[in-house]
Amino acid sequence: MDIELSAEDLGFRDEVVSFFAENAHKDGEDYNQWRMDWFAKAKDKGGWDVPKWPTQFGGPGWSPTQHYIWEQETAIHATPWDMPFGLGMLAPIVMNYGNEAQQKRFLPDIRARKVNWCQGYSEPGAGSDLASLRTKAVLSEDGTYYTVTGTKIWTTMAHIADWIFCLTRTDDSGRKQEGITFLLFPMNQDGIEVTPIITLGGAHSVNTVHITDVKVPVENRIGEEGKGWTYAKGLLQHERTGLAGVSRSLVALESLKDQARTIARGNSTLMDEPAFKAKVADLEVDLMALEFTELRSLASASAGAAPGPESSIMKLKGTEIQQRIQKLTVEAGGLYSAAWGATSVGPSFARAGMGGYLASRGYTIYGGASEVQKDVIAKNVLGLKKSTSVQTSKENGRNSS
């Protein structure tokens, strides 16, 4: 698509930049109050607080180019911290599959950032093979509530979440993709225990969630019983598109180049070394290709289409690019990147670079591992089917005996 910005688009960009400048956080200002005021002002702009929501639910109704501009500018400017799980992941599911009562109950608090959500998908025995989940939800005899028991793992921000949207198994008699039900319930109740998992980079963002005999009213079920797999796939497509992080990678790559220019190499800098420059150039080419894929996805969304298998392409390539940027940042820091403890030495970016590199190892795992994305692409984009060579060989063997 043509990404030449029109006069209208340039005016929109100026309006966005001005909004960020006028509402930037000031030194000494209470962050939480500033954050809530920022979102209130963004809402008054006509849905800027929920840029990806459709107009019928209060979104701004932007064009693909305007979404592209917004993503670029939010990556550059300091905007309030926001959790994606309610706003960008659960909300589309409630909009598309929830009933009117659920939409009125949950969407306003999600938009107002009053309720933090976490995602109860992966389990100790069901990570990439999510359909193998075993968390049970048993419907009561009177049909008014489910009793949920099981364990979820790698649950991001569960330790600060108020509610969880959770995949549960209500029937295991058929295909494993069937009999999965999508439930919502509060985290702060008896029967829920959250155990932290400290990641390789030393951060606490993910957790194990143990669920024991938690009662969930039927009205907290999204859609039909046993149809949760269909809803989950839609949610994952939204999640994977966001995880690509194209705009963030564009900013991070420019920052990497600036950092490399501060590292002396003889009479020049690291950025002038042919080998390092070639790696950066390879990254830029791949990132440009991904950016165009994102624009095509935005164009499709503006025409009313839901995220499709291209979200797997975005997630696969986007997370790999993020890892490559982090790896080159460590390379730029050299030996100083190894000293990433409490005391930093060498270039100022070296310590954060190593921490970012270690954290980035998970990028190609969460939200659907790269192997899963390749499988989705093979089936739904390339139209490839499972090989029948093994079965044919067996049949030939039987026929020759």
Residue-wise pLDDT tens digits, 178-235: 899 999 999 999 999 999 999 887 889 999 999 999 999 999 999 999 999 988 876 6
* Average pLDDT for 291-306: 70
d(CA 90, CA 201): 28
Higher pLDDT, 252 or 393: 252
CATH topology assigned to domain 244-380: Butyryl-CoA Dehydrogenase, subunit A; domain 3 (1.20.140)
d(CA 270, CA 331): 10
* Average pLDDT for 350-360: 85
Task: For the chain, count helices (H), then strands (E).
Answer: 13, 10
At 45 the pLDDT is 97
Kindly report the average pLDDT of the chain as a whole number. 88
- Out of 13-22, 132-141, 194-203, 232-241, which region has the weakest mean confidence (pLDDT)? 232-241
Considering the domain 91-99+116-226, what is its CATH architecture? Beta Barrel (2.40)
Residue-wise pLDDT tens digits, 257-283: 999 999 999 899 999 999 999 999 999
- pLDDT band at residue 365 using 50, 70 and 90 as cut-offs: confident
Distances (CA, A) of 80 to 24, 36, 170, 322: 9, 9, 39, 22
DSSP characters over 111-129: HTT-S-EEEE--BTTBSSS
Is the pLDDT confidence value at 291 over 70? yes
What are the domain boundaries of the chain? 7-82, 91-99+116-226, 244-380
DSSP 200: T
Find out whether 116 and 86 touch, Cβ atoms under 8 Å. yes
Closest among 208, 85, 211, 220 to 146, alpha carbons compared: 220
